[in-house]
Each structure stands twice: as structure tokens, then as C-alpha cells.
Amino acid sequence: MEPRPLGRECEAVLKDIGFILPLSFILSILSILSNAFPGVPGFLFLSCVRLLDVRSKFAVCVILSIATACTAGGDATRTVQRLALDTLFNGREHARELVIWSSETAGPALEQILIDHGLEQHPVDVQKLASTIPANTIDEATLTRIFRDNPDAWAEFFRRYPRSSGLVELSPVRFSSGNTVAETYVGRSCGEHCRNAWRIVARRDETGTWTVTELRWLRVPGT
């Protein structure tokens, strides 16, 4: 597995304070962690402390990587994803069923967005997600068969899922500001030239309740 680039913010911080360990070594650590924790979409450098002994002029950088820091736990991730789905497909489009992309690879609407933001797609467990709208998952192999075996592929999709508003994709959730602010992306495909994506930011208040504070439509490349 090739080491993934450090996030822009993290790399900028490391360059600003200076670090002794080679960047390639840090990326190797992240690669090992990524393989050990496949469900975690990112890693946070909890601390990078530069200790300076005035007399010896000796500096050492201590790096602690916490695998769960970026996700703040699966429950928080699913809470934010559930809120995003509810905001878009219950509050806006009133969908009666969700068909959610569940695969190790990105779907058609979010593929480029995930690449641009250094995120990796992971399968979705709809039972744990516990969406307020009835939900099913579809994997890449099943969708490929539908499109391969039917000339009117999207028409066949909606024959199978007549209550849905299309194929829905969920990105991993990123947390910041002490795990009180979350960012995620939702995609929806509903035809050959029908693809939409949204960036959703949510904030957690003192009672632990998450609320959407920003909802922005994003243009999907190629549409």
C-alpha cells in the first residue's frame, strides 16, 4: 500500500515548527496504521513537541499518532452521517427509501471529491447507521451488473428501487476543534447526467446534540 500524503494542514504545521524525522518515515507509520485500522478515514497528529535543551542545543520531535482521533468514534461518525442524510433526503427531497453505495471504492458522484480531499471510501453498515429513512445498500458488483445487463440502466435501477431518489454516497467524516465540528460529503446519482454532491458541516453543542451549520452544493466534475 502506497503511503497517502499528509493532509495539507498537518503538513503545513510540521513544516512550520520543523521536524527531525524524515517525512517518508512519518508516511510509513501512517501506512501501517491505515492497514491496521481500515475503518478509520484519517489520522491526527495529537502532538508534535519540540524539546530544546539550551546548553546542548539538542532538539527532539515526539510524534504521537492516535488512530481514532479523526473519527471521534464510530457512533459520532454515524450520527453525523445520519444527520446529513436526514437533512438532505428527509428535509429537502422527502425520499421514501435510500439506496446507499457500500464499497471499498468511491462511487460516481464523490470519486473526484474524495481524491481531492485525501479521503478513502469504506463500506456502510446500514443497521448501525440507523437512518430515519428506510435504507438498503448496493455494492459495486451489483450496480455493474445492472448497468451491464440492461440497456436502460437507470430505468432498471428505478424499477428495482422505485421509492428512492437515486444512488446515495456517504464520505468518511472529519472532526476538528475538539471533536465539536464535523465535515462530511454526500453524493447522489440519478441518471447519466444527473449527479449532485453536497458538503455538510455540523457542530455539536454542550448537550451533545449535532446540528447542521453549513450545507453547500458542489459541482460534480463531468456533469
Domain extent listing, the chain? 8-66, 74-218
Contact between 30 and 120 (Cβ < 8 Å): no
What's the Cα-to-Cα distance from 103 to each of 30, 32, 159, 179, rounded to whole Å?
22, 22, 22, 26
| CA pair distance 176, 72, nearest whole angstrom | 9
Q: How far apart are the first and last CA of the chain?
A: 32
Contact between 186 and 200 (Cβ < 8 Å): yes
User: Which residues, listed in sequence order, are joined to residue 51 by a DSSP beta bridge?
Assistant: 60
Q: Which residue in this structure is represented by grid cell 503538513?
A: 11
| CA pair distance 132, 97, nearest whole angstrom | 10
Decide: helix, strand or coil at residue 158.
helix
Which amino acid is residue 196, in one-letter code? N
Provide the grid cell at 181.
465540528
Going residue by residue through the chain, which has 223 residues, state the pLDDT in tens, using 9 for 90 and above. Answer: 344 444 444 555 455 445 555 656 666 666 566 555 544 545 554 444 444 343 333 333 333 333 333 445 578 999 999 999 999 998 777 789 999 999 999 999 999 999 999 999 999 999 999 999 999 999 999 999 999 999 999 999 999 999 999 999 999 999 987 889 999 999 999 998 899 999 999 999 999 999 999 999 998 877 6
Provide the grid cell at 97.
427509501
pTM of the entire predicted model: 0.68
| CA pair distance 173, 117, nearest whole angstrom | 11
| CA pair distance 123, 115, nearest whole angstrom | 17
User: Which residue, 101, 145, 138, is CA-closest to 122?
Assistant: 101
Q: What angle (nearest 5°) sits at the alpha carbon of residue 67, between those of residues 60 and 215? A: 115
Provide the grid cell at 112.
473526484
